[in-house]
Chain A
Amino acid sequence: MSTTEKNIVLHVDDVHKTFGGLHALADIDLQIEEGKTHAIIGPNGAGKSTLLNVVVGRLSPTRGAVVFNGEVLTGKAPHQINQLGIARVFQTPEIFPDLSVLQNVMAPAFAKRDGSFKLNFLSSLERQTDIRDEAEHILHDVGLYERRNTHAGALSRGDKRRMELAMCLIQHPRLLLLDEPTAGMSRHDTNTTIALLQKIKERGMTKIIIEHDMHVVFSLADRISVLAGGRIIAEGEPEEVRSNPKVQEAYLGGAHL
Chain B
Amino acid sequence: MLGLSRKDTGFLIAVICLTLATPIFLQPFPETSSLAQFNAGYPDLMQRFAIYGIFVMGFNILFGLTGYLSFGHAAFLGVGSYSVVWMYKLLDYNVLPGLVLAVIMSGIFALFIGFVSLRRSGIYFSILTLAFAQMSYNLAYSVFTPLTNGETGLQVYLNDPQVLMSEGAPTSPHLFGLVMNESAKVAVGDWIFTFNVGYYFTAIIAILVFYLSLRIFRSPFGMILRAIKTNRNRLNYAGINTKPYMLTAFVISGMYAGLAGGLLAAMDPLTGAQRMQWTASGEVVLMAILGGAGTMMGPILGAGFIKYFENIFSKINESVLHQWFGWMPDGVQDFVIGVVSPFVGEGWHLTLGLLFMVVVIFLPGGIVQGALLVVGMFRRRNGHDGPKKQESASSAAQPAE
Task: Mark A residues whose CB is within 8 Å of B.
Answer: 56, 58, 77-79, 82-83, 87-88, 90, 94-100, 103, 106-108, 110-112, 114, 116-128, 149-151, 167, 171
Task: Mark B residues whose CB is within 8 Å of A.
Answer: 3-5, 215-216, 218-224, 226-227, 229-231, 233-242, 244-245, 248, 252, 398-400
In the complex, the answer to whether B220 meets A149 with C-beta atoms within 8 Å is no
In the complex, the answer to whether B398 meets A111 with C-beta atoms within 8 Å is no
In the complex, the answer to whether A96 meets B220 with C-beta atoms within 8 Å is no
Known: A98-B229, A100-B398, A100-B400. A88 touches B237 (CB 8 A): yes
In the complex, the answer to whether A124 meets B219 with C-beta atoms within 8 Å is yes
In the complex, the answer to whether A78 meets B218 with C-beta atoms within 8 Å is no
In the complex, the answer to whether B218 meets A107 with C-beta atoms within 8 Å is no
Known: A121-B215, A125-B219. A96 touches B226 (CB 8 A): yes
Which one of B215, B224, B248 lies within 8 Å of A110 (CB-CB)? B224
Chain A residues with CB under 8 Å of B245's CB are 117
Which one of A96, A120, A149 lies within 8 Å of B234 (CB-CB)? A96
In the complex, the answer to whether A107 meets B227 with C-beta atoms within 8 Å is yes
In the complex, the answer to whether A82 meets B238 with C-beta atoms within 8 Å is yes
* Smallest CB separation, B60 vs chain A (Å): 14
In the complex, the answer to whether A107 meets B238 with C-beta atoms within 8 Å is yes
Complex A-B, nearest 8 residue pairs according to Cβ-Cβ distance, in ascending order: A111-B239, A82-B239, A121-B221, A116-B241, A108-B238, A78-B236, A94-B234, A96-B227
A96 vs B230: C-alpha distance when bound (angstroms): 6
A149 vs B398: C-alpha distance when bound (angstroms): 7
A108 vs B239: C-alpha distance when bound (angstroms): 7
A167 vs B216: C-alpha distance when bound (angstroms): 23
Q: 16 A-B pairs, CB-CB below 8 angstroms?
A: A56-B237, A77-B236, A79-B235, A82-B239, A87-B237, A95-B231, A96-B235, A98-B229, A107-B223, A117-B240, A118-B221, A120-B220, A124-B215, A125-B219, A125-B223, A128-B220
A171 vs B248: C-alpha distance when bound (angstroms): 25
A78 vs B240: C-alpha distance when bound (angstroms): 9
Beyond A98-B227, A128-B220, 20 additional contacts (C-beta under 8 Å) are A77-B236, A79-B235, A79-B239, A79-B241, A87-B238, A95-B231, A96-B230, A99-B226, A100-B399, A103-B399, A106-B223, A107-B223, A107-B224, A107-B238, A107-B240, A120-B220, A121-B215, A121-B252, A124-B219, A125-B219
Known: A96-B230, A99-B226, A106-B223. A121 touches B237 (CB 8 A): no
* Smallest CB separation, A107 vs chain B (Å): 5
A72 vs B302: C-alpha distance when bound (angstroms): 51
* Smallest CB separation, A169 vs chain B (Å): 12
